């Protein structure tokens, strides 16, 4: 898959340029709150990125000046009118579908970047936490206020803990505190904080690094890191050795070594894509 491709839907606008996928949450009137349909659209986008063997990254951001305000309350209120099933509570099923989307995003075989403007609340905070890199505008707000609504941050908790660590994540979720981007960086929820006018430059800097990476090597690295998190150490190292052997036997490794010795860019280097206005 080469070149530039654009596809827009009512809820998620997806564009591919120079191997980079851009996905914009497009419910600005709801501060991009996560409806069933939007969650499904993000899952579909993840499948498309996974199938693109030349992909370098997925950049996730929101329309209308906000990243994501979390769950759509209208869906919750509707579910509260349902009766528990014999084998499965429909509310639990609904909640778990959101978690499944976060699983797919976290397991994506290419680097993922969340660009946070406005608010990242509740599920929006979890959405950002499932990404590899979080770039935030300095006036963005992060919060997990579920306990103040009488519920718990059920599906996002594992992803927030992985990103921020148990001690800091626990207090943020228990207190429901609202914090600005600089504090989010200090707690681990964000990686890079810049003025809103500098977001494009910050994203470009990250993509410039990835443009020199070989796509198969990126995928292998993601698999190795994910196994390190999930599997016992010995099993993770065994699998990493096989990944390493496979990459060295792959023709791209020979080109990478030759390019390094010749002090030139490898054949797979790509130009930067045309970046959107993230504000």
Nearest-CA neighbor of 97 among 14, 35, 13, 25?
A: 35
Q: What is the DSSP letter of 9?
A: -
Tokens of 151: 């519920």
Half-sphere exposure of 126 (CA within 13 A, CB side): 27
pLDDT grade, residue 50 (50/70/90)? very high
Q: What is the DSSP string of 14-40?
A: EEEETTEEEEEE--GGGTT-B-HHHHH
pLDDT in tens, 209-232: 999 999 999 999 999 998 888 877
pTM: predicted TM-score of the whole model, two decimal places: 0.88
What phi and psi values does residue 153 have, to the nearest 5 degrees?
Answer: -75, 70
Starting at the earlier edge strand, list the strands of the sheet with 12-17: 5-8, 12-17, 20-25, 57-62, 112-116, 133-137, 192-194
Tokens of 69: 């305000």
Predicted pLDDT at 86: 62
3-class state of residue 218 by DSSP? helix
Predicted pLDDT at 61: 98
Predicted pLDDT at 139: 98
Q: Say how far apart CA 250 and CA 234 lie, in whole Å.
A: 25
Predicted pLDDT at 223: 92
Half-sphere exposure of 259 (CA within 13 A, CB side): 15
Residue 222, number of CB atoms within 10 A of its CB: 18
pLDDT grade, residue 84 (50/70/90)? confident
Q: Say how far apart CA 119 and CA 23 lie, in whole Å.
A: 17
pLDDT in tens, 140-183: 999 999 998 888 999 999 999 999 999 999 999 999 999 999 99
The CATH code for residues 5-210 is 3.90.226.10
Residues 13-25, mean pLDDT to the nearest whole number: 97
Predicted pLDDT at 230: 80
Predicted pLDDT at 4: 40
3-class state of residue 14 by DSSP? strand
Contact between residue 117 and residue 62 where contact means Cβ atoms under 8 Å apart: yes
């Amino acid at each position: 898959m080469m070149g530039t491709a654009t596809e827009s839907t009512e809820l998620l606008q997806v564009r591919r340029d120079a191997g980079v996928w851009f996905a914009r949450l497009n419910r600005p009137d709801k501060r991009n709150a996560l409806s069933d349909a939007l969650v499904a659209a993000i899952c579909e986008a993840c499948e498309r990125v996974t199938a693109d063997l030349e992909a370098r990254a997925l950049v996730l951001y929101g329309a209308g000046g906000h990243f994501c305000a979390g769950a759509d309350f209208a869906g919750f209120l509707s579910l509260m009118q349902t009766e528990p099933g014999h084998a499965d509570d429909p509310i639990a099923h609904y909640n778990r579908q959101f978690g499944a989307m976060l699983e797919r995003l976290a397991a994506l075989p290419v680097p993922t970047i969340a660009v946070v403007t406005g608010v990242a609340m509740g599920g929006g905070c979890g959405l950002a936490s499932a990404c590899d890199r979080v770039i935030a505008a300095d006036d963005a707000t992060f919060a997990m206020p579920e306990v103040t609504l009488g519920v718990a941050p059920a599906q996002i908790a594992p992803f927030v803990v992985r990103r921020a660590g148990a001690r800091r994540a626990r207090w943020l979720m228990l207190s429901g505190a609202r914090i600005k981007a600089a504090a989010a960086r200090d707690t681990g929820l964000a990686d890079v904080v810049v003025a809103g006018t500098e977001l494009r430059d910050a994203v470009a800097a990250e993509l410039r690094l990835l443009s020199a990476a070989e796509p198969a090597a990126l995928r292998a690295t993601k698999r190795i890191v994910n196994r390190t998190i999930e599997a016992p150490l010995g099993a993770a190292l065994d699998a990493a050795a096989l990944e390493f052997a496979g990459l060295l036997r792959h023709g791209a490794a020979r080109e990478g070594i030759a390019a390094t010795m010749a002090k030139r860019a490898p054949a797979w280097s790509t130009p930067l894509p045309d970046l959107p206005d993230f504000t």
